[in-house]
């Protein structure tokens, strides 16, 4: 993926109700930090005419705190509880695209919910690519660049360790897109294509 990941609104609402012939299935973008989920979700939502939600930003807006502040005051368990609640609320809507946080798919309950309400698309990238993108965001003072779990003396090593532990979970996705050599538009195109293929395959069952 080329170029920095730009900040996107946490919620973009487009009214487009699902028809009876095509049951509402959303798109959940999962994957490690720095794989482009937020920026790509906005592009996919614009192409499909669906509402777009950045889960971390929704949580921060509802809490009246930044994600690092939530981690500091409530710990990771408190943040994960808020994360699951926000995910359930968003999933009750019609057509939508959700950019989840890097750890959202770790919860079996979250994975079950996402599997019931939509297609899960995993965005992949090498640890070195992820580290470079996050450093670029930090250099631009991007508001979402600070990741509490990566705030360590050796963030690249932490990325490798966390990504390795989560890889079996990301591999459960319905579709995977490797983003290292793709631009944002190319990733969005692949997700739109994947959604069409998955819908057709589901209709044939």
Model confidence over 113-139: pLDDT tens digits?
A: 999 999 999 999 999 999 999 888 877
CB 1 within 8 A of CB 184: yes
Q: Looking at the domain assignment, is residue 112 inside a domain? A: yes
- Residues of the domain holding 128: 23-203
Q: What is the per-residue pLDDT for 46?
A: 98
CATH number of residue 106's parent domain: 3.40.50.300
Q: Is the pLDDT of residue 14 over 90?
A: no
Q: How confident is the model at residue 144 (pLDDT cuts 50, 70, 90)?
A: low
pTM of structure: 0.83
**pLDDT single digits (tens) 89-120:** 999 988 999 999 989 999 999 999 999 999 99
- Does 14 fall in a domain? no
Give the up-direction half-sphere exposure of residue 34: CA atoms within 13 A in the CB hemisphere: 24
The closest alpha carbon to 123, from 76, 73, 187, 172, belongs to: 187
Judge contact between 59 and 82, C-beta under 8 A: yes
Q: What's the domain count of the chain?
A: 1
Q: Is 75 helix (H, G, I), strand (E, B) or coil?
A: helix
Average pLDDT of the residues in 53-76: 95
Phi, then psi, of 26 in degrees rounded to 5: -85, -175
């Amino acid at each position: 993926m080329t170029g920095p990941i730009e900040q996107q609104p946490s919620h973009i609402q487009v009214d487009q109700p699902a028809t009876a012939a095509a049951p509402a299935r959303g798109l959940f973008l999962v994957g490690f930090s720095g794989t482009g989920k937020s920026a790509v979700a906005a592009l996919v939502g614009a192409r499909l005419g669906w509402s777009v939600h950045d889960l971390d930003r929704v949580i921060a807006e509802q809490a009246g705190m930044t994600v690092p502040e939530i981690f500091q005051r409530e710990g990771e368990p408190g943040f994960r509880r808020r994360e699951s609640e926000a995910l359930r609320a968003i999933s009750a809507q019609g057509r939508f695209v959700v950019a989840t946080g890097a750890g959202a798919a770790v919860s079996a309950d979250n994975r079950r919910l996402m599997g019931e309400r939509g297609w899960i698309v995993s965005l992949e990238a090498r640890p070195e690519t992820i580290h470079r993108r996050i450093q670029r965001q930090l250099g631009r003072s991007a508001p979402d660049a600070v990741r509490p779990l990566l705030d360590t003396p050796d963030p690249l090593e932490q990325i490798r360790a966390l990504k390795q532990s989560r890889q079996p979970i990301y591999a459960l996705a319905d579709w995977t897109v490797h983003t290292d050599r793709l631009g944002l538009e190319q990733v969005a195109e692949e997700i739109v294509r994947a959604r069409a293929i998955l819908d057709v395959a589901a209709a044939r069952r």
